[in-house]
Amino acid sequence: MTSNGQPVELDPVMAQFLQPLSLDPSWTPSMSDTSKLDPKWLGPIGDLMTFYVDLWLMNKIGILRHAGDHFYLPNPQAISWADGARVLVGKDHVDFDLNLQSLDPVKQTAVVVIHHVPPSHPNLQLPAEWMQTPVADTVNNWVEVTKTKDGKYEAGVGKETFDVTMTVSTVDGRILFASMDNPVVTSGRECEDAALTKCGVAQPHTIHRQIEIALQH
């Protein structure tokens, strides 16, 4: 691993970690146990899982055959990244807008686009009343509460979306190249109590992540 241009030595637990991934539509994706891992790895592990889950959904539905085909899939559950120690609450809830953008019979590739969008009624239990107010142009579908080293709490809520684009081999289904654009528009407060009632002034914050993966031969 390289972070901020500097090599990072893996601890023994991380060096033994294996992430199960599959292209098989009959396989049920599940997040690995990350409770004992270095927090720096949670992002890469979750992002790689996102690419494979998106492709799994496309294959599982199996009805997108022609360029321009589209299918909207409501998602019944939120996803959590809370570790119970530093991140006490960490959830988002998105629906899936699946699109077969193009097919290239010569290169034997397909380009698929998956938009992760806020549901009309996200399945989130927001821990404080002030978190109900929409931060952006939709209902809030992202929430996070972390405990700081000085015993306080950093709490945020807002809107998260993902736009995933993948170039996939039509021969064997492998991901050849994929990119993800992931903006999160939030409003956060520093709080003194776990109930998030004794908090400072709300501060706007935007997280914008851009991720790429490519198959190396």
Q: Are strands 142-147 and 109-117 parallel, antiparallel or unpaired?
A: unpaired
User: Residue 115's beta-bridge partner residues?
Assistant: 97, 163
- Eight-class DSSP state of 108: T
Q: What is the pLDDT of residue 111?
A: 98
Number of domains in the chain: 1
Tally of helices (H runs) and strands (E runs) in the chain:
2, 12
Paired strand residues for 213:
178
At residue 201, the pLDDT reads: 96
Residue 55 domain flag: no
User: Does residue 89 sit within a domain?
Assistant: yes
Residue 16's pLDDT is 82
Q: What is the pLDDT of residue 173?
A: 93
User: Is 189 inside a domain boundary?
Assistant: yes
pLDDT number for residue 14: 81
Q: Which residues of the chain have pLDDT under 70?
A: none
| Range(s) of the domain holding residue 188 | 67-214
In a domain, 52, yes or no: no
In this prediction, residue 37 carries a pLDDT of: 77
Would you say residue 120 lies in a domain? yes
Is there a domain that residue 113 lies in?
yes
pLDDT for position 214: 97
Token pair for 149: 């080293």
Helix (H) or strand (E) holding 58, with range, is helix 42-61
8 Å CB contact between 148 and 194: no
Residue with tokens 């654009």: 181
Task: For residue 172, tell me if it sits in a domain.
Answer: yes
Q: Give the chain's mean pLDDT.
A: 92
Q: State residue 199's pLDDT score.
A: 97
Query: Looking at residue 133, what is its pLDDT?
Result: 96
- Give one DSSP letter per residue of 160-175, joined into a string: E-EEEEEEEETTT--E
Q: Report yes or no on 36 lying in a domain.
A: no
